[in-house]
């Protein structure tokens, strides 16, 4: 399945569950001084979650262009980190909640993508017994594949946030670090997080207070490039059809080959990642400058050149 087919399949699946499919928003946030750039599918929808604005429909799905520079040092060194990626997401604004979000995520990955059930692992927030019950009783997952984690709480600056539940796939021992304590949550490439389901039920203010929202919401984010790597049986996102053509082109321009030296491969991956980021940033109207978004662009460009 190509990356484009996967994106389409996701959006069609959620359209069949009565979601309004919208195109990706620009990387430049509208009326949100707390964010430099859109870094999650939910970011353009913050006023819908808090109830400040009414959404066109209570269910929406998107494939959102995202830039996140927090992982920039990992880019090219792991199979899965990027500065630019696409986040597939389904959102509920005061409509469905945990039960449906979990059931549909499971239906999509097992029935529509055909991922093997026995390789899938789940994390939940330590105190989220409701999510545990749904995964264990409704879905039928064995209790030992549902892991409680204290930091399963998702937020991006002030605004809507809540506990979350993640889907991981075990890619096999030979992809791991081999350490005796390697498990879900390890930084190596064995257990790959493919989807995060956020149960958005609080609003965090600037002072750090969490106020329960009048209506509970759903915000999910699945990594297009990560799932493509699993479906295409590639050892890294960079080898999927979404990124590899850039590496091939760079090889021709630079007169080098991929897969011969680790150092060159890291450089090729950094160039591929940064070239995508730069292209989309510029297409969305960001230009190099000494401050704000333009400075991020300038730094990414300098890094790619270096
Ligand atoms: N907001 C969550 C994330 O970015 C899920 O969409 O992971």
Cβ atoms of 190 and 173 within 8 Å: the answer is yes
User: Cα-atom radius of gyration of the chain, to the nearest Å?
Assistant: 19
- Kindly give the number of the ligand 1 atom that is closest to the alpha carbon of 41: 6
Query: What is the enclosing helix (H) or strand (E) of 199?
Result: strand 191-204
Ligand 1 pocket, 220 CB below 6 A?
Answer: yes
Q: pLDDT per residue over 67-95, tens digit each?
A: 999 999 999 999 999 999 999 999 999 99
Residue 287 has what pLDDT?
97
Rounded to 5°, angle at Cα 196 from 194 and 199: 165
CA distance linking residue 8 with residue 1, whole number of Å: 11
Specify the residue with its C-alpha closest to ligand 1, atom 3. 221
Q: What is the pLDDT along the chain (306 residues), one digit of tens a residue?
A: 999 999 999 999 999 999 999 999 999 999 999 899 999 999 999 999 988 999 999 999 999 999 999 999 999 999 999 999 999 999 999 999 999 999 999 999 999 999 999 999 999 999 999 999 999 999 999 999 999 999 999 998 888 999 999 999 999 999 999 999 999 999 999 999 999 999 999 999 999 999 999 899 999 999 999 999 999 999 999 999 999 999 999 999 999 999 999 999 999 999 999 999 999 999 999 999 999 999 999 999 999 999
Residue 100 has what pLDDT?
98
Residue 156 has what pLDDT?
81
pTM over 0.85: yes
Q: Which residue carries 């479906």 as its tokens?
A: 231
CA distance linking residue 180 with residue 291, whole number of Å: 45
Cβ atoms of 36 and 154 within 8 Å: the answer is no
Residue 169 has what pLDDT?
98
CA distance linking residue 79 with residue 69, whole number of Å: 16
Q: pLDDT per residue over 119-142, tens digit each?
A: 999 999 999 999 999 999 999 999
Ligand 1 pocket, 64 CB below 6 A?
Answer: no
Ligand 1 pocket, 89 CB below 6 A?
Answer: yes
CA distance linking residue 266 with residue 127, whole number of Å: 40
Q: Which of 14, 42, 155 to mutate to test the pocket of ligand 1 (most atoms within 8 A of CB)?
A: 42
Q: Which of 102, 164, 204 to mutate to test the pocket of ligand 1 (most atoms within 8 A of CB)?
A: 164
CA distance linking residue 75 with residue 53, whole number of Å: 36
Gap from CA of 44 to ligand 1 centroid (Å): 12
29: Cβ contacts below 8 Å, ≥ 6 apart: 35, 36, 37, 38, 43, 44
């Amino acid at each position: 399945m190509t990356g484009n087919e996967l994106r389409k399949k996701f959006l069609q699946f959620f359209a069949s569950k009565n979601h309004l499919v919208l195109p990706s928003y620009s990387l430049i946030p509208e009326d949100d001084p707390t964010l430099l750039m859109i870094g999650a599918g939910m970011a353009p929808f913050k006023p819908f979650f808090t109830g400040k604005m009414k959404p066109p429909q209570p269910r929406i799905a998107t494939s959102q262009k995202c830039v996140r520079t927090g992982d920039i040092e990992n880019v090219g060194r792991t199979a899965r980190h990027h500065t630019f990626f696409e986040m597939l997401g389904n959102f509920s604004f005061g409509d469905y909640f945990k039960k449906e979000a979990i059931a549909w995520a499971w239906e999509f990955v097992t029935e529509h993508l055909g991922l093997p059930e026995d390789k899938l692992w789940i994390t939940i927030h330590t105190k989220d017994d409701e999510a545990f019950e749904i995964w264990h009783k409704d879905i039928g997952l064995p209790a030992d594949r549902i892991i409680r984690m204290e930091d399963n709480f998702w937020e991006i600056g002030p605004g809507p946030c809540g506990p979350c539940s993640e889907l991981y796939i075990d890619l096999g021992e030979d992809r791991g670090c081999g350490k005796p304590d390697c498990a879900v949550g390890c930084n190596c490439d064995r257990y790959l997080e493919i989807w995060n389901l956020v149960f958005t039920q609080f609003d965090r203010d600037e002072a750090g207070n969490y106020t329960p929202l009048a209506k509970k919401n759903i915000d999910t984010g699945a990594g297009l490039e990560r799932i493509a790597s699993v479906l295409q049986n590639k050892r890294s996102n960079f080898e999927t059809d979404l990124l590899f053509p850039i590496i091939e082109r760079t090889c021709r321009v630079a007169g080098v080959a991929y897969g011969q030296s680790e150092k060159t491969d890291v450089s090729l991956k950094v160039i591929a990642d940064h070239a995508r980021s730069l292209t989309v940033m510029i297409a969305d109207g960001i230009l190099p400058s000494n401050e704000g978004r333009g400075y991020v662009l300038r730094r990414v460009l300098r890094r790619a050149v270096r």
